[in-house]
Amino acid sequence: MSNPLTKHQGLPSFSRIRPEHVEPALDQVLADNRQQIERLLAADDASWNSLVDPLEQLDHQLSRTWSPVSHLNAVCNSDPLRETYNRCLPKLSEYETELKQNDKLYRAWLAVQKNENALDPIQQRLIDLSLRGFRLAGVALETRKKERFKALMQKLATLQSGFEENLLDATNAWSSHVRDKSLLSGIPDRAITRAAEEAAIQGKNGWVFTLDYPSYHAIVTHADNVALRREMYTAWATRASDQGPQAKRWDNTETMEQILAARHEAAGLLGYANYAEYSLASKMAESVEQVSDFLRDLARRSRDRAQEEFEELQDFADHSLQAWDIAYYSEKLRNETFSISDEELRPYFPVGRVMQGMFDVVSKLYGVEVREREGVDVWHPDVRFYDVLAADGSHYGSFYADLYTRPAKRGGAWMDDCIGRARTNGRVIDPVAYLSCNFMPPVANAPALLTHDEVVTLFHEFGHVLHHILTRIDYPSVAGINGVAWDAVELPSQFMENFCWFDQTIQIISGHYETGEPVPEEVFERLLGSRAFQAGMVMVRQLEFALFDLRIHAEHDPARGGRIAEILAEVRDEVAVVPSPAFNRFPNGFAHVFGGGYAAGYYSYKWAEVLSADVFSAFEENGVLDRQTGSRFLEYILQRGGGVDPMQAFAEFRGRRPEIGPLLRYSGIAE
């Protein structure tokens, strides 16, 4: 039987992919690539056509083999798939490091840079980024250090995957079985119905609440019973740690220490003082000091406001608040202040209406059409598939939408690359993306209904999808999101969030699931009034994450270890206003940093938010849905992908360098 992972035409055959296909397919493509690279290096001269273009195609083939595997591991995790996935990670890491440490290949790239006189700016940038990649992988190291660096990269791949697996297992293993109906006071009916369905699935009476985010959020935000809120918060805040109801069962503590140590050692091999310096070598930000100053400047602007907001919340509650009280009393205070609540808004945001409205918004902005395609092979019945078409009917690209939470699916929301745009033998291969969320699925006879916050999340991830799909760059390594500096890649996603706060777009994306009526104007005015609610508390919470991430990577000392708890406590003393209980083990679930790509880069959310807020202010000036402004954003930002320096792209769109004012205004921090 043929291996579906070695078929590189069309879309992945998800229904045919089995764990036993993964390792043979990867082994084959890696062996083929190595053989082809040796053949390329045997040529007499190195040129764009003889070296760079073939290497781009080889990388594209590898991505098409591995992307479906990586995605399935995130959305349909199983023991057999996990085992083969983890066996393959060191092989993939070894190959990637081996390539970037290849002296002969590096010299060939240098020869192309030197000898090619007719390269366009995008080709020149691709070469510059590739040469930087060689240097950051240790091409100039002596043999012994090269081998050590390669071993560290393999170790990190395994450790980071293990971190995420521990977190997933800990999340899936815990649940709260409620038998007394009186304990459900305050919890929304939809969450109660879903908990009853979960109990029935498990053969139990009553209600079962799990640690998937919609269930967790419903309890800590709405449950009147403080013991139930504390139970849920404790289980959530101690996942994969030495504390809580599953203490030490899937403990990430030692894994985190090993990750930080390996990152620090790898950075040191390349001459960097710490991993934060190494990380910033490929980002817009120029130094650790610049990032630290940026974050602390935001903290100075917002902490007093945050402290006032917290004191107001305690006054409202009329007693000292614990961590499991914050969301509960905040929702009540927001409702009292603005007469608005998540549950009042939820009926106006059925998933189908929001999705179609979102597509209508981007149609007005960029002249594109999003059209669902049926009959596509998918990994779960809930998954939908969409094509994105240009105004002339030509095909931009496509994306899968997997919106609902379920067991064996990674938490959170994300966009990932299924197929990157490429040109092969004169034919363009259109890009395909994965759009993944963890919303509450339909319950009873009602459709899936979103909170406004979830609508914002959906728009955010769709911004990443558009960045990937609307590219017009034909070289995979700088097409779409590829090649974009990590602290700029959030610009298109955060930009899209703003459309969820304007009357013109709310009328398009909302429609009551029973009547079809959009959010009433007076309800929208109350929603808009709540936009800056607890803006200071929200800001310092994000700054806490970012400063913690920066410091554990900038201040790592092998003799003292990661000092994770110590540094977190210092950061909280500096910027936080909400107290955390001693048992809180937030870092053990911080997958962005310990499992994902945000190591020493979590600041990117705020950094890119400066860019995105400033970009959106141009739409406010010209009209929120102004097609001309949208066309310029499409041309200068979305279509160029990583083919242009992000600061250059921003300045060409905005006519100047970014300013922080719009971020402070949208965040509610500015006076």
- Tell me whether residue 635 is one of the annotated catalytic residues: no
Per-residue confidence (pLDDT) for residue 400, from 0 to 100 = 98
Longest dimension (CA), the chain: 80
**Residue 583 burial by CB count (10 A; 0-12/13-18/19+): exposed, middle or buried?**
middle
Domain count, the chain: 4
Q: Per-residue pLDDT averaged across 598-617, rounded?
A: 96
Both structure tokens of 346: 């939820």
**Are both 589 and 658 inside the same structural domain?**
no
Question: For residue 9, how many other CB atoms are within 10 A of its CB?
Answer: 6
- 515/459 same-domain check: yes
CATH number, position 370: 1.10.1370.40
Task: Tell me the sheet residues that pair with 414.
Answer: 436
* Segment 614-627, tens digit of pLDDT: 999 999 999 999 99
Determine the 3-state secondary structure of 207 from DSSP: strand
pLDDT in tens, 281-318: 999 999 999 999 999 999 999 999 999 999 999 999 99
Mean pLDDT calculated for residue range 309-333: 97
What is the helix (H) or strand (E) element at residue 616, kind and residue range? helix 604-622
Q: Is 581 inside a domain boundary?
A: yes
- Predicted TM-score (pTM) of this structure: 0.95
Q: Does a structural domain hold residue 154?
A: no
pLDDT tens sequence across 566-591: 999 999 999 999 999 999 999 999 99
Phi/psi of residue 369, each to 5°? -120, 135
Residue 671 lies in a domain: no
**In the predicted model, is pLDDT for residue 670 greater than 80?**
no
Other beta carbons within 10 angstroms of residue 585's beta carbon come to: 24
* Mean pLDDT of all residues belonging to the chain: 96
504 and 361 fall within a common domain: yes
The pLDDT of 587-612, averaged and rounded, is: 95
Q: Given 569, 600, 631, which residue is the final one in a domain?
A: 600
Average pLDDT rounded to a whole number, residues 203-232: 97
Which pLDDT score, from 0 to 100, does residue 671 have?
A: 52
Cα separation of 671 and 92, whole Å? 51
248/241 Cα distance (integer angstroms): 6
Residue 98's pLDDT band, with cuts at 50, 70 and 90, is very high
Q: How confident is the model at residue 476 (pLDDT cuts 50, 70, 90)?
A: very high
Pair (123, 209) in one structural domain: no
Q: Is residue 162 part of a domain?
A: no
Catalytic residue among 231, 461, 544, 609: 461
In a domain, 152, yes or no: no
How many CB atoms neighbour CB 336 within 10 A? 11
314 with 330, same domain: the answer is yes
Domain limit, last residue, from 575, 600, 625: 600
In a domain, 110, yes or no: yes
- Domain hosting 192: range is 174-237
Q: Does any domain span residue 146?
A: no
Give residue 1's pLDDT.
Answer: 61
Three-state SS for 341? coil
Whether residues 434 and 290 fall in one domain: no
Q: Given this model, what pLDDT does residue 669 score? A: 84
**Same-domain status, 415 and 372:** yes
Measure the CA dihedral 350/351/352/353, to 10°.
50
Rounded Cα distance between 82 and 169, Å, is 12
Contacts of 224 (CB under 8 A, 6+ apart): 185, 186
Residues in the chain: 671
State which of 543, 572, 600 marks the end of a domain: 600
User: Cα 582 to chain center, whole Å?
Assistant: 29
- What tokens does 324 get? 């499991």
Residue with tokens 């192309």: 112
- Considering the domain architecture, whether residues 518 and 547 belong to the same structural domain is answered as no
Q: Which residue has the tokens 């043979």?
A: 24
Question: Are 582 and 647 contained in the same domain?
Answer: no
pLDDT band at 379 (very low <50, low <70, confident <90, very high): very high
Going from the C-alpha of 121 to that of each of 124, 142, 245, 492, 636, the distances in angstroms are 5, 33, 56, 22, 14
What pLDDT, on a 0 to 100 scale, did the predictor assign at position 614? Answer: 96
Is residue 385 assigned to a domain? yes
Contact between residue 360 and residue 353 where contact means Cβ atoms under 8 Å apart: no
Distance between CA atoms of residues 630 and 625, nearest Å = 7
Token digits for 460? 């955010």
Domain identity same for 627 and 490: yes
Residue 597 pLDDT > 90:
no
Query: Quick one: 317 exposed, middle or buried, by C-beta within 10 A (0-12, 13-18, 19+)?
Result: middle
Asked if 327 and 555 count as a contact pair (C-beta separation under 8 A), the reply is no
Read off the pLDDT of residues 238-255 as tens digits, 9 standing for 90 and up.
999 999 999 999 999 999
Q: Do 332 and 402 share a domain, yes or no?
A: no
Q: Which amino acid is at 252?
A: N
First and final C-alpha spacing in the chain: 67
Euclidean distance between CA atoms 110 and 112, whole angstroms: 5
In this predicted structure, what is the pLDDT of residue 117?
A: 87
Stretch among 39-43, 353-357, 629-633 having the lowest mean pLDDT: 39-43
pLDDT in tens, 102-144: 999 999 999 999 988 889 999 999 999 999 999 999 999 999 9
Both tokens of 665, joined, read: 């205004």
Q: Does one domain contain both 521 and 581?
A: no
In this prediction, residue 605 carries a pLDDT of: 95
Q: What is the domain-level CATH number for residue 33? A: 1.20.1050.40
Measured CA to CA in angstroms, residue 256 lies from 549, 554, 631 at distances of 12, 15, 44
Beta-carbon contacts of 157 under 8 Å, excluding residues fewer than 6 positions away, are 89, 90, 92, 93
